[in-house]
Amino acid sequence: MNCFRLAAFALFVFAPAVASADPAPIISPFATARPVVAMHGMVVTQEAAASRVGLDVLRLGGNAVDAAVAVGFALAVTLPRAGNIGGGGFMLIHRADLDKTTAIDYRETAPSATTKDVFLDTNGEADPFKSRYSGLAIGVPGTVAGLELAWRKYGSGRFTFAELVAPGAALARQGLIVGGDVADSLPIAAPVFARHPSSARIYLRPDGGVPQTGDHLALDDLAATLDTIAAEGAAGFYTGPVAEKIVASVQAAGGRMTMDDLAHYRAVEREPVSGSYHGHTIVSMPPPSSGGAHVIEILNILEGYPLREQGLNSAASLHEMAEAEKLAYADRAAWLGDPDFVKVPLAGLVSKAYADTLRALISPTQARPAADIRPGEPQRYESDQTTHFSIVDSDGNAVANTYTLNLPYGSGLVADGTGVLLNDELDDFAAKRGSANFYGLMGGDANAPGSMKRPLSSMSPTLVFKDGKLELATGSPGGSTIITTVTQIIVNVIDHGLNVAEAQNAPRAHDQLYPDELRIERGISEDTIRLLEAMGHKVVVREAIGSANTIARSPDGVLTGASDLRQRGTLAVGF
């Protein structure tokens, strides 16, 4: 191991942020923060220290994948409610030299003993406690395997895996000072932490109270786990003492995970799903993420409307978007699941012809009640996606990565002796046909629980290309709102010509069919709301929808990045 390089890492991790080039001017009232501009590399994450870790890797000669691996491990320390090694996610990697994009699926899997009725009570009804807070909710984590696979196949070769884990381990040894997002989110998770002594010891005060701004959280166990991963690779997580402690904690909480489940976990590469929108190529995550398919399905429907002429967030545009979203979410409930277990009519869902049939169902003046909407028939058009970060390097290589624990802090269970917060990702299965998960999303047999299955996700890491060149890397957390957040950012950039800061900070809207309501953020005019209500929409105002992190790349290689102002502590950095 290169000790000099590790020492350099330690200096960079705790150094002040690198100054970036002069940002572009604000040209819209939606841009309350200006984008960061750079020529050689850009990292945008939901936590400042992790952004700096990624930028330091780029500055030391790493590529976007190297930086992504380091960021992934750093966020497991600095953004504990979502960054993780006890969860899973999806990564899109674009190799500029090969003009090729690949998708790495490191979604959690259900333990082998999982059955279809695992989340039902004695009356055969879905039991939310079982699927969200018990040991049964915990899927086999995929993050460590996914990050190692990305490094092994697509890293620059200039760093060992241990060197990329090292900044996260250093941050863990330092511990976490409560502030920003951690201060905001700990009070919400405190009741769940209180159920588990292993969690309370770390994330609550000795008297059981909620840590306050300025308090120090000791993360020594997590630092030791990261040191083991650095020394042994993914095997140090999936076998041996760390794995034994994870299994013991899950089983003590009523779960069914075994050592064999961990030892047999594999991250897999998949072919991305792709489509086009007004001459731009959209590349996103395939199943078991529903994100890519439905981002493209919604964009295909919207392509038939004059969104630019109608204006950003006009009543007409919001109506058309909401009606398109309802149709996509109806298809999601009926057709999407783990492609290793069910046939997903993916080509049909992203077909332009199928979008034409769906668009014809939309009235220009009247909202359709959710009860009147049924899934379409995409198979007729067949032919033989927690926290998100985006990274682009000087060569145009790009990573769009979304990973999660599901609910904030996942199940709330820290595997005793490891510091690892464990996910509650199996709530993303359909516990019963027609039952809703935490985010209100419906599901059917295609997404039923089962042995070794990967639950359906909405995570939507997405890349956009124009004339074969990378144009945009984006994605967002937000559960069921991820798909519509990513869609609106693409529309805001392509149709309305906004820069990345403007595109992200413009008010958003979301309609997922059930509950039967159109959610909008503050900032959309009262007149527009009245027009939408006159069309039959039940409009509900929400404080925030999503929290995207986006990088744009111009044809001459200039990078502009913006982190979302909806969450404290985010940071875009470049050089």
Q: pLDDT tens digits for 502-549? A: 999 999 999 999 999 999 998 899 999 999 999 999 999 988 898 899
- Say what the pLDDT of residue 169 is: 98
Length of the chain: 575
Tell me whether residue 120 is in a domain. Answer: no
For residue 56, name the pLDDT band (cuts at 50, 70, 90).
very high
Q: Are residues 383 and 285 in the same domain?
A: yes
H-assigned helices in 2-142: 3-13, 48-59, 64-78, 128-132
Q: Are residues 196 and 288 in the same domain?
A: no
Does the bond joining 515 to the residue before it have cis omega, within 30 degrees of 0?
Answer: yes
Q: Strand 36-38: give its sheet, edge to edge.
A: 36-38, 559-563, 549-553, 469-474, 462-466, 280-284, 273-277
For residue 181, name the pLDDT band (cuts at 50, 70, 90).
confident
Tell me whether residue 78 is in a domain. Answer: no
| Alpha carbons 67 and 276: distance in angstroms, whole number | 29
For 180, the domain range is 176-218
* CA distances for 414 relative to 232, 242, 418, 419, angstroms: 22, 12, 7, 6
Q: What is the 3-state secondary structure (H, E, C) of 415-460?
A: ECCCCEECCCHHHHCCCCCCCECCCCCECCHHHCCCCCCCCCECCC
DSSP track, 15-51:
SPPPP-BPPPPP-STT-SSPPEEESSEEEEESSHHHH
For residue 6, name the pLDDT band (cuts at 50, 70, 90).
very low
For residue 382, name the pLDDT band (cuts at 50, 70, 90).
low
Q: Which helix (H) or strand (E) holds 310?
A: helix 307-310
Burial grade of 527 (CB within 10 A; 0-12, 13-18, 19 or more): exposed
Higher-confidence position of 63 and 564? 63
**DSSP character at residue 175:** -
* CA distances for 450 relative to 116, 139, 426, angstroms: 5, 11, 10
Q: What is the 3-state secondary structure (H, E, C) of 499-550?
A: CHHHHHHCCCEECCCCCCCEEEEECECHHHHHHHHHCCCCEEEECCCCCCEE
* Vertex 403: Cα angle to 548 and 136 (nearest 5): 130
Worst-scoring range by mean pLDDT, 22-26, 32-36, 47-51, 83-87? Answer: 22-26
Q: Are residues 195 and 301 in the same domain?
A: no
* CA distances for 439 relative to 139, 334, 480, angstroms: 18, 17, 6
Describe the chain by its helix, strand, coil percentages, rounded to 5. Answer: 40, 20, 45
| Alpha carbons 243 and 415: distance in angstroms, whole number | 10
The CB-based long-range contact list for 170-173 (8 Å cut-off, 24+ gap) reads 170/9, 170/10, 170/13, 171/13, 171/49, 171/53, 171/74, 171/77, 171/78, 172/77, 172/219, 172/220, 172/222, 172/223, 172/226, 172/419, 173/219, 173/220, 173/223
Question: At residue 23, does pLDDT exceed 60?
Answer: no
Q: Are residues 214 and 347 in the same domain?
A: no
Question: At residue 385, does pLDDT exceed 80?
Answer: no
Query: Are 398 and 392 in contact, with CB atoms under 8 Å apart?
Result: yes
- Say what the pLDDT of residue 5 is: 45
Tell me whether residue 263 is in a domain. Answer: no
Tell me whether residue 167 is in a domain. Answer: no
- Say what the pLDDT of residue 28 is: 47
Residue 178 token pair? 């409560």
**DSSP character at residue 555:** T
Q: Are residues 369 and 490 in the same domain?
A: yes
Q: Are residues 277 and 351 in the same domain?
A: yes
Go through 494-511 and write b for each residue having 16 or more CB atoms within 10 A of its CB, e for each that does not. Answer: bbbebbbbbbbbbbbbbb
Average pLDDT over residues 14-19: 37
Q: Are residues 202 and 313 in the same domain?
A: no
Q: Which amino acid makes up residue 569?
A: G
| Alpha carbons 359 and 299: distance in angstroms, whole number | 11
- Say what the pLDDT of residue 480 is: 86
For residue 380, name the pLDDT band (cuts at 50, 70, 90).
confident
Tell me whether residue 571 is in a domain. Answer: no
Q: Are residues 380 and 488 in the same domain?
A: yes
- Say what the pLDDT of residue 180 is: 87
Q: Are residues 366 and 504 in the same domain?
A: yes
Average pLDDT over residues 344-361: 95
Average pLDDT over residues 207-213: 96
Q: Which residues contact 305 (CB under 8 A, 6 or more apart)?
A: 316, 317, 320
Tell me whether residue 144 is in a domain. Answer: no
Question: At residue 498, does pLDDT exceed 70?
Answer: yes
Average pLDDT over residues 9-18: 40
Average pLDDT over residues 71-98: 96
Question: At residue 13, does pLDDT exceed 60?
Answer: no
Residue carrying structure tokens 């964009």: 299
The tens digit of pLDDT for each residue in 399-425 reads 999 999 998 899 999 999 999 999 999
Q: Are residues 200 and 281 in the same domain?
A: no
Question: At residue 495, does pLDDT exceed 50?
Answer: yes
The tens digit of pLDDT for each residue in 108-148 reads 999 999 999 999 999 999 999 999 999 999 999 999 999 99
Question: At residue 18, does pLDDT exceed 70?
Answer: no
Go through 115-126 and write b for each residue having 16 or more CB atoms within 10 A of its CB, e for each that does not. Answer: ebebbbeeeeeb
Question: At residue 440, does pLDDT exceed 80?
Answer: no
Go through 12-33 and write b for each residue having 16 or more CB atoms within 10 A of its CB, e for each that does not. Answer: bbeeeeeebeebbeeebebbeb
Tell me whether residue 348 is in a domain. Answer: yes
How large a percentage of the chain has pLDDT more than 70?
93
When mean pLDDT is compared over 2-11, 354-363, 473-482, the highest value belongs to 354-363
Residue 24 token pair? 């572009």
**DSSP character at residue 480:** G
- Say what the pLDDT of residue 565 is: 85
Among the listed residues 423, 545, 542, 524, the one whose alpha carbon sits nearest the alpha carbon of residue 482: 545
- Say what the pLDDT of residue 29 is: 52
Question: At residue 574, does pLDDT exceed 90?
Answer: yes
The tens digit of pLDDT for each residue in 228-249 reads 999 999 999 999 999 999 999 9
Q: Which residues contact 326 (CB under 8 A, 6 or more apart)?
A: 368, 370, 373, 511, 512, 513
The tens digit of pLDDT for each residue in 255-268 reads 999 999 999 999 99
Q: Specify the 3-state DSSP secondary structure of 173.
A: helix
Average pLDDT over residues 372-395: 83
Domain count, the chain: 2
Q: Which residues contact 38 (CB under 8 A, 6 or more apart)?
A: 20, 21, 558, 559, 561, 574, 575
- Say what the pLDDT of residue 14 is: 40
| Alpha carbons 432 and 435: distance in angstroms, whole number | 5
pLDDT, the chain, mean: 91
Tell me whether residue 138 is in a domain. Answer: no
Residue carrying structure tokens 């309370």: 200
> Kind of pairing, strands 216-217 and 280-284?
unpaired
- Say what the pLDDT of residue 1 is: 39
- Say what the pLDDT of residue 3 is: 40
The tens digit of pLDDT for each residue in 273-302 reads 999 999 999 999 999 999 999 999 999 999
Average pLDDT over residues 29-54: 87
- Say what the pLDDT of residue 17 is: 36
| Alpha carbons 147 and 302: distance in angstroms, whole number | 35
- Say what the pLDDT of residue 38 is: 95
Query: Are 426 and 407 in contact, with CB atoms under 8 Å apart?
Result: no
CATH number at residue 510: 1.10.246.130
Query: Are 500 and 560 in contact, with CB atoms under 8 Å apart?
Result: yes
Q: Are residues 206 and 299 in the same domain?
A: no
Q: Which helix (H) or strand (E) holds 568?
A: none
Query: Are 112 and 106 in contact, with CB atoms under 8 Å apart?
Result: no
Q: Are residues 185 and 329 in the same domain?
A: no
Report, as residue numbers or ranges, the catalytic residues: 386
| Alpha carbons 91 and 81: distance in angstroms, whole number | 19
